[in-house]
Amino acid sequence: MKHHFITVEGNIGAGKTTLTHLLAKHFNARIILEEFADNPFLPKFYANPQQYAFPLELFFMAERYKQLKDMVHTKDLFQSITISDYLFTKCLLFAKVNLPDEEFRLYQKLFDIINQQLVFPDILIYLHAPIHKLQTNIKKRNRSYEQNIPDEYLFNLQETYTGYIKQHNIKTIFIDASNADFLGNENHFKVVLNALENDYENGQHYFTLP
């Protein structure tokens, strides 16, 4: 394995956590999963975004920082690979969509200070799915506070993610997850495994699932 710190990213409902679990099991890797359920502001944010966006994003940033700092900077003699289901920059991307300009500028200053202390992954796996697929997955997992997420919100997040990846020329395995079924279709998972065998230049490297 050429990559020792792998991050899986994508929009809400793209299948990040499912793929992260499968990869961690396959490689016997340490796993970092976002603990979104511990954020007390999440249900409140979906009910009243304007009032709760700032505390929501601050809480997420603090929790993600603590997780990544604790796990990535701790040596594990038996597990040389770490796989995460989020990129720390996710903090900034969601804040850009959710916060008004003045609050975002303040948030960005805090983010820049914290981000310098963390390790960037060797490679990013980005799952790109159309909005209707995301909505289907969101309905299927049936978290009550997610059931009324507008298509426009998911579209804005999608555009923010892809814009960031392209602008910063990040080394990315970019997967068209329109028909992704990593649990039910072994060939879909094999596409990801085969993609991880290569060492890539910076930029996006595109893969489709059979």
DSSP 150: -
Write out pLDDT tens, residues 82-107. 999 999 999 999 999 999 999 999 99
Q: What is the residue type of 97?
A: V
Residue 75 is predicted with a pLDDT of 66
Region for residue 167 given its phi and psi (left: phi exceeds 0; alpha: psi -120 to 50; beta: otherwise): alpha
Q: Which domains does the chain have, with CATH numbers?
A: 5-208 (3.40.50.300)
Considering only the C-alpha atoms of the chain, give the largest distance between any 2 of them, rounded to a whole number of Å. 47
Write out pLDDT tens, residues 182-196. 999 999 999 999 999
Write out pLDDT tens, residues 33-84. 998 777 899 999 999 999 999 999 999 999 999 999 887 667 666 678 999 9
Residue numbers annotated as active site? 85
Angle between helices 90-98 and 151-167 (to 10 degrees): 130
Contacts of residue 160, Cβ cutoff 8 Å, sequence gap at least 6: 93, 96, 97
Write out pLDDT tens, residues 104-124. 999 999 999 999 999 899 999
Q: Which helix (H) or strand (E) holds 13?
A: none
Q: Strand 30-32 and strand 82-84: pairing? A: parallel
